[in-house]
Amino acid sequence: MTKSTTGLDAALYDYILETTLREPKVLARLRRETDSHPRAGMQISPDQGQLLGLLVELTGAQRIVEVGTFTGYSSLAMALALPDDGEIVCCDVSEEYTAVARRYWAEAGVADRITLRLGPAAGTLDSLIGEGRSGAFDMAFIDADKENYQTYFERCLTLVRPGGLIAVDNVLWDGRVLDPADETADTRAIRAFNSGLKDDDRVTLAMLSVADGVTLARKR
């Protein structure tokens, strides 16, 4: 028994991947291609992708909104877990990054499940609300610019149904949330988001120490 989460060194993390990871070949190829990208650190880890796919299955999600798509690993992991008539609405600002995502969505045969909306995510989320899609989504995944996390969370809370799930990435911020010398805008935003969510009675929640920290918030 232990009173805290087991720390992960490289060997133990490799053990987790070796004993549990079931990464489809198309996802592995996307991950390897993105590893050479100058901003490769924006890609989620493969075990996190597998977790997202499992959450789609556990919630029975059919409609998902994603805030921050990059080269498409997370959206592809979730799309592969959706039923054939499922839908993901992806919000991103980069045509360049999402062009990679489009290639892999097509290769995996799930492009018809994914709608990409290019532009500032807050505006896209507001447009979805304006289109009458409040409460129409089963799940949301937020992994974008940290200063707008609270804005994205509020919009996603409107868009997901009661009982729906919002997953938020990077809530541990590589440990910088604990560094008193780090007063950068991103770090302060994540600290504020985490602190505010703790007492938010609109959701039930748990923070998981997967990858860079993932908070799961279920809308009451």
Write out pLDDT tens, residues 62-82: 999 999 999 999 999 999 999
Calpha distance 41→31 (Å, rounded): 11
Res. 33: pLDDT tops 70: yes
Calpha distance 179→160 (Å, rounded): 33
For 149, the 3-state DSSP assignment is helix
Res. 32: pLDDT tops 90: yes
What pTM was computed for the model?
Answer: 0.96
- C-beta neighbour count of 20 within 10 angstroms: 9
For 121, the 3-state DSSP assignment is helix
Of the pLDDT bands very low, low, confident and very high (cuts 50, 70, 90), residue 6 is confident
- C-beta neighbour count of 191 within 10 angstroms: 18
Of the pLDDT bands very low, low, confident and very high (cuts 50, 70, 90), residue 4 is confident
Q: Closest Cα partner for 155 from 80, 69, 89, 59?
A: 89
Q: Provide the β-strand partners of residue 91.
A: 67, 117
| pLDDT above 70: percentage of residues in the chain | 99
Calpha distance 80→171 (Å, rounded): 25
Res. 102: pLDDT tops 80: yes
φ, ψ of residue 112 to 5 degrees: the values are -75, -10
Residue 41 in tokens = 């650190």
In the chain the domains, ranked by start, together with CATH numbers, are 10-219 (3.40.50.150)
**pLDDT tens figures, 135-149:** 999 999 999 999 999
**pLDDT tens figures, 36-62:** 999 999 999 999 999 999 999 999 999
Res. 2: pLDDT tops 80: no
